[in-house]
Amino acid sequence: MSDSIVIAGAGHAAGQTVVSLRQGGFSGRIIMIGDEPYLPYQRPPLSKKFLAGELALERLHIRQERFYAEHDIEVRLATRVEEVDRLKRMVLLSDGNRLSYDRLLLATGSRVRKLDIAGSELQGVHYLRTIDDVLGIQTGFKPGDQLIVIGAGYIGLEVAAVAVSRGLRVTVLEVADRVMNRVVAPEVSRFFEQVHREAGVDIRCNRDPGGILVGDQCVSAVRAPDGVELPADLVIIGVGILPNVDIAEAAGLECENGIIVDEFCRTSDPNILAIGDCTNHPNKLLGRRLRLESVHNAQEQAKTAAATLMGELKPYAQIPWFWSDQYDLKLQIVGISTGYDRVVLRGDPDSRSFAAFYMQGDLLIAVDAVNKPREFMLSKKLIADGARLDPDILADTDIPFKDLVTAALS
């Protein structure tokens, strides 16, 4: 193939795409354009080992620089695709250059949701999404300092776990009535809140994220709408992310909570594909459309898109999964729990090793596994196959989980 493929974005999805294209025998021109000054890298470690200083920057990279040179992949970093001209099949770059394409792949990812709060421009106020964000945070990550984390989702709690382990005094403010409110059941929320409190984190739920960040050049406090003021040497805001769909919308592509794609990652323009956090895609196994913010989705959509670009139609249809590391706990989530009517706990949360099974009647739709890798792995197939389980038997830990799986799938 001699087509020219331009990739807008240089994140995890883009990095996997170029690997899959070359491994699949694509010999045409590949130009990858990313607005960060870094080669494609893994984002999950940013709020975990990289923040803690336990992982070198170069180990974040999906592939080292020599890979791109050896495989004739043109990489343009610190550059953004500003505009797509679909009629001329051309993109306008932030440096003023224009590039023609035969096919365009949008891997524009997502950006942090900004909190509309006075004082957010003060030094010491951070969001966490990129390598540079973490490097900025680390300059003020000092034992004994007071850190205020706004948001008790994955990022907020992972940051809190690293910070308190490094000797910082940590307070987490959350607008909802419990931590990880959008992604886990109350039983799992209670467990993680207790773990953080025991580690010394002050968690305050039902707190309006509005108010004011106080300080003269540098942040010194967070003042809530009710006037309560909390001292702060450092503030990290983690209140979600938004899909980057601006250039897709401006180009007239169909968008709704992400760029609309089919199961082969094709957009409403036959010459443009899209993958990763920025896409809204159909999932045949779940019978619904999804926009997912996960490494698994980025990697697998990238493989599907690469196949499509090479003329092989291999539909993307997998059960989503996610993970979060906090202290010595690995939370692994498989499936989408929306619409569950019952949660079955298997194991005792006090043991710090248990699983929460989300049920619709006797249909298993999702699992949260805490230090339970077997339950996580086996549940992928159970959910994909639409397994039905007796909730009372499922909760009985005297029955080996593997036996339950065998019975459910037989």
Instruction: Compute the Cα dihedral for 277, 278, 283, 289 and give only its sign.
Output: positive
Fold match between 4-111+242-309 and 328-409? no
DSSP 3-state of 306: helix
CATH of domain 328-409: 3.30.390.30
Domain ranges of the chain: 4-111+242-309, 125-237, 328-409
- Tell me what pLDDT residue 126 has: 97
Angle between helices 295-309 and 12-23 (to 10 degrees): 40
- Condensed to tens digits (0 to 9), the pLDDT of residues 198-245 reads 999 999 999 987 789 999 999 999 998 888 899 999 999 999 999 999
For 332, the enclosing helix (H) or strand (E) is strand 329-335
Instruction: For domain 125-237, give its CATH number from 2.30.42.10, 3.40.50.80, 3.50.50.60, 3.40.50.10140.
Output: 3.50.50.60
Q: Token pair for residue 375? A: 């339950």
- Condensed to tens digits (0 to 9), the pLDDT of residues 99-151 reads 999 999 999 999 999 998 999 999 999 999 999 999 999 998 999 999 999 99
Count, residues in the chain:
410
| Domain 4-111+242-309 of CATH type 3.50.50.60 | yes
Sites in the chain below the pLDDT cut of 50: 1
